[in-house]
Amino acid sequence: MERVDFYVLAGSDARERLKFACRIIDKAFNAELRILVWSEDAATLASIDDLLWTFAQDSFVPHEQLTPESNWDDSPVLLSGSALPSPPADVIINLGSTLPPALDQTPRIIEIIDGDEARRQAGRTRFKQYRDKGVEPTTHNLA
């Protein structure tokens, strides 16, 4: 892990947080990066799956739930909350409440924090954990 970016949003609407994640995913996809969207919550992954089809009229981001048959060539965006792809992702978009796995194999982690108090507190905990691992996160305050 070389870089961790925290994007801090003002509102607490979970859907707005996921829409912002879609914009980041689209940007990384256009940069031809392999992206893993990580969350332990199946409902969050299902929402991201739906939003990636509809968040922008002029955008298409090929994506799928990670399975043993998943292939970066077919789906440069993989969604998971339990398994890891091989080879590792270039970027992990962490929508979970804990540190994502495979930190030592992923050059960049993106965290998206909104105004929801529980998500904000979990984000503060992860921020400290990254520091403890020797990485100074960069904060982008979008509030």
What CATH number does residue 105 fall under?
3.40.50.10110
Task: Please tell me the pTM assigned to this model.
Answer: 0.94
Range of the domain at 22: 3-141
Could you give the CA distance from residue 59 to residue 129 in angstroms, rounded to a whole number? 35
Q: Is pLDDT above 80 for 139? A: yes
| Domains: count for the chain | 1
Could you give the CA distance from residue 40 to residue 97 in angstroms, rounded to a whole number? 8
Per-residue pLDDT of 12-49, as tens digits, reads 999 999 999 999 999 999 999 999 999 999 999 999 99
Confidence of residue 67 (pLDDT cuts 50, 70, 90): very high
